[in-house]
Amino acid sequence: MSIIKIGEAGKGIYIDAKFDVNAAPFTVLKAHFKSPDGATTFERNLTAPAVDSPAILEEAGVYKDKYVTLLANTYGLYMTATGDFAIAGAWCVYIEYRDATGAIFYGDSGLLTIGAVC
């Protein structure tokens, strides 16, 4: 079962960056999304929960049907909006991070499964 279906809005997507996104004040923190057919791409700003404990998620991103621990301060949160995902399938997603020092980091690409509505 997918965590997000076509047309859903207001659901949170936790995206693992694999690095500390709160180590320095960031100037840019966004997610880049690409549809399964590669024809649709978009980017959205993320929030970075400043937490001192990990997030434990079920069915997070590519980790379907098991629990996943995201280390504290190593992920961004995006709340889906109307019209984000109009195509079912495996979407490519990654985080872009920039800070005032000129640092630019890109998280590892992952797959986010968007399900069809019956």
pLDDT cut 70: percent of the chain above it: 81
Q: Please give the average per-residue pLDDT across 25-53, as a whole number.
A: 87
- As a whole number, the mean pLDDT across the chain is 83
Beta strands in the chain (DSSP E): 4-5, 12-16, 26-34, 41-45, 55-60, 63-70, 75-79, 89-99, 104-106, 110-115
pLDDT at 108 over 60: yes
| Class of the CATH domain delimited by 4-115 | mainly beta
pTM: 0.81
pLDDT band for 67, please (50, 70, 90 cuts): low
